[in-house]
A and B are shown apart, each in its own frame.
Chain A
Amino acid sequence: MTGLNTKNTKVAKTIKLFIGGEFPRTESGRSTPVYIYKTKNIYAHVCLASRKDLRNAVTAAQAAQPGWQSKSAYNRSQILYRMAEMTEAKREEFVEILVTTLGLTRANAEKSVDSAIDAFVYYAGFADKYQQVLGSVNPVSGPHHNFTGAEAVGLVGLICNQKFNLAEVASQIAAIISSGNSLVALLATEGGALLAPLAEVFATSDLPKGVINLLSGNTEELYKQFGTHMEIHSLSCQSKDKAMLAELRSMAAANMKRIVSPTKDLLSLEHLMSYVEYKTVWHPIGH
């Protein structure tokens, strides 16, 4: 029994990926330790997702997207609000992981969870309102009812900032899915332990499987796969690494994916606007 602390028989949580509503280990069989802050003691192992995991996540997100978009705005709103409730229910777990693995003070960890809950509530509220604010009825000459609506871009990739920030991640996820997009997000391994409670929130909020998929892994290793994947329609890169952003913009030319630079204002309509596309319909007016 060498290697196990015989004085502590607590069952440590295994942190796996979240793909298509399931919790698989990475197909690569690779993991990396997350340490108790500023110690060499292992808190848990997190998966190092592979390119294959990313492809699987994209497949799941692709399958889930049309159904999610066609849900009523009210229903999407309810589900986002449910996420706020489930986050509240798991507050202690979030706080513990933030304190233990990222070294936040308890007060800051609490604030962080508060902000994440705020984000889910904020975008729950927007899910059935952005259409009215962003859309328009256009007074064209001629017998047409001409209107412009904002709809989901489709499948969005999210490369989270290397430095994990729960409020940022929650607001980005909420902004992306509120308009009916599906999502594949990559969390850097540093904050990888947070993947577990986040995924559990999403798995228990009546969210259809595959709408949100979470990977933990090495940004350096996977960002190019995000950049070149032909089924990802929009890619939000929260890294402040200018060279990476430039490389992604260049890769995006292959399928003209929209590259979204680091978000300035977390709780705002502008944030949500980065993930919608405008459709204009000319409907006939006649006899």
Chain B
Amino acid sequence: MHTTQQNKIKATETNTAMGPNETFEYAPSIESTDIVKIAPKNKLFINGKFIEPTSGKYFPTINPATEEKISEIADANAADVDKAVKAARKAYTNVWSKLSGKERGRYLFRIARIIQERAREFAVLETLDNGKPIRESRDIDIPLVAAHFFYYAGWADKLHYAVPGSGLKQPKPLGVVAQIIPWNFPLLMAAWKIAPALACGNTVVLKPAESTSLSCLLLAEVLQEAGLPDGVVNIVTGAGETGAALVSHPDINKIAFTGSTDVGRLILKSVANTDKKLTLELGGKSAHIIYEDAAIDQAVEGVINGIYFNQGHVCCAGSRLLLEESIADTFVDKLKLRMEKLRVGNPLDKNTDIGAINSAEEHQKIKRLIDTGKTEGGEYYEPSSLTLPAKGYFHKPCFFNKVSSAFTLSRVEVFGPVLAISTFRTTQEAIMKANDTPYGLAAGVWSEKGSKIHKTAQGLKAGVIWANTFNKFDPTSPFGGYFESGFGREGGRHGLLPYLEV
């Protein structure tokens, strides 16, 4: 049995008391990129074929860890989007909506298997294009992608059990679905969107983020390999204009968007006058509450994972740390100690903890917000021992201690490795501070007391609550937020509802 006393750490303990001064450095262990073959020009995937964009225009995609161009991506315009939507409509009407759930499921199972077989290739490609550590793309992103396809494959012939109260009535698909996904988990977000949509019998036009199209285009190859009927999934690459053309296309029945709350608002307004259905998975400013009776060392690790996982490019990142006052100083000391040991650098190195920021633009945004944070106050900290590679968009993990809830960094989503720390005294105060945000995506709670975890979880206004862990995802577990974090759920049985006529 853990007791509060056992877990309390004296604030007077110093770094030297926590372990030996000397540690060994890891030798680099670089993942080979030989496994991926990247074409110099990447076309659009429409009606089962790779085709040239109407405009003939391509834009570069950059490896953020080296700032070097990897290859070129087709820039889809409104005419291309129209082709893709027409292909999706034709496939919906003539093929996909006529297939049985069992048959649809078979295709999804096949896709899942091929992804597993080509997992290493996907992981390396994702890391090259996105900048995330290979450890994460290999152990988290790609396995979850396959798991999502497996999970929803099995739902395809059981949809009458998915909607409570529908009995044996077969729920109907919506039609053609437009899906727009972000650059932070490129292939995982594609899987979250495509798998449930297809299981429910919809066809898809997907637009990846312009800086991370490559893994989605490799997925297109997998779809071909799996023999998925032409037009069931179409992929149009491009930036905001391509997305706008897709959202405003009159023959779309539903839009699923993951991205910033600002763009979510624009989409909401642009479809206000239509019957298009909408799910939005938007931003967050998730709180991470640490009670004094938590297992402190595990909690430190959890906080690191909560905010520095994927360079902090996580919509549900635990970007506000709320510490119970009695342990605040100890906790911050331990956090600093742990941060000194984080390895930032080459994402292809299997030892790397924090990779590259996805783009120069995002890097600038993070720096700008940190500058704002410094002018507003709070105690800034970044690990002194860390050196960043000379090239590439790298950023040190950092935090601001003793921030007030009025500070920009307590309110605005940074989408980078920046943590804002403040304290609380009572459970009530912790809940109140955690809820003091227009967002409501996720929250974390650390305590060794189950009843306290449940009490806190009950009071938190957030769609996902992690207790004694953070940033865990599973295809069976619904994900999505309250309030300005959007609406609809992805994952689990609840993730089917947005793709069905209920």
Which A positions have Cβ atoms within 8 angstroms of B? 133-134, 136, 138-142, 144, 146, 148, 153-154, 233, 246-247, 249-250, 252-256, 258, 268-270, 273, 277-284, 286
Contacts and interface: CB of A to CB of B under 8 A. Distances in A.
A268 B165 contact: yes
B10 interface: no
Interface of A (DSSP majority class): mixed
B268 A256 contact: yes
A144 B282 contact: no
Interface stretch (B30-38, B63-71, B335-343, B488-496): B488-496
Contacts of A283: 450, 453-454, 457, 467
A236 B318 CA distance: 33
A201 to B, nearest CB: 28
Contact of B478 (A139, A233, A278): A278
Contacts of A252: 268
B118 interface: no
B465 A282 contact: yes
A246 B273 contact: yes
B105 interface: no
A90 B465 CA distance: 45
A279 B462 CA distance: 7
Tell which of B273, B450, B462 has the most Cβ of chain A within 10 Å. Answer: B273
Given A253-B265, A282-B467, A138 B462 contact: no
7 contacts: A141-B147, A252-B268, A255-B438, A256-B265, A279-B463, A280-B463, A282-B472
Given A140-B474, A270-B502, A256 B492 contact: no
A138 B476 contact: yes
A191 B485 CA distance: 37
Given A134-B164, A144-B469, A256-B484, A250 B476 contact: no
Nearest to A259: B272
Most chain B CB inside 10 Å of its own CB: which residue of A146, A154, A252: A146
A280 B282 contact: no
A256 B483 contact: yes
Contacts of A233: 483
A153 B280 CA distance: 16
Nearest to A245: B272
Contact of B463 (A138, A246, A269, A277): A277
Contact of A146 (B264, B265, B477): B477
Interface of B: 147, 164-165, 261, 264-266, 268-269, 271-273, 280, 282, 438, 450, 453-454, 457, 460-469, 472, 474, 476-480, 482-487, 489, 492-494, 502
Given A148-B492, A269-B165, A281 B478 contact: no
Contact of B492 (A136, A246, A247, A277): A136
B63 to A, nearest CB: 32
Contacts of A286: 468
B477 A284 contact: no
A282 B466 contact: yes
B478 A138 contact: yes
A277 B147 CA distance: 25
A134 B466 CA distance: 20
Identify the 4 closest CB pairs spanning chains A and B, nearest first.
A249-B272, A140-B474, A250-B272, A284-B468
Given A142-B472, A246-B272, A250-B269, A279 B465 contact: yes
Given A138-B492, A256-B282, A282-B467, 9 more contacts: A139-B476, A141-B147, A146-B477, A249-B269, A252-B268, A253-B268, A254-B265, A270-B165, A273-B502
Nearest to A249: B272
Given A140-B477, A278-B494, A283-B450, A253 B269 contact: yes
Contacts of A146: 474, 476-477
Contact of A280 (B273, B453, B464): B464
Nearest to A233: B483
A283 B464 CA distance: 11
A249 B264 CA distance: 13
A153 B464 CA distance: 15
Contacts of B472: 140, 142, 144, 282
B487 A258 contact: yes
Contacts of A281: 454, 457, 465, 467
A256 B280 contact: yes
A159 to B, nearest CB: 16
Nearest to B456: A281
Contacts of B493: 136
Nearest to A268: B165
B483 A138 contact: no
A284 B273 CA distance: 45
Nearest to A242: B273
Nearest to B1: A287
Contacts of A138: 474, 476-478, 492
Contacts of A253: 264-266, 268-269, 272
A152 to B, nearest CB: 10
A258 B165 CA distance: 23
B269 A284 contact: no
A256 B487 contact: yes
B283 to A, nearest CB: 10
Nearest to B262: A253
Nearest to A147: B477
A148 B484 contact: no
Contacts of B268: 249-250, 252-253, 256
A280 B502 contact: no
Nearest to B488: A278
B469 A284 contact: yes
B235 to A, nearest CB: 28
A213 to B, nearest CB: 21
Contacts of B460: 279
Contacts of A280: 463-465, 477-479, 492
Nearest to A146: B477
B172 to A, nearest CB: 14
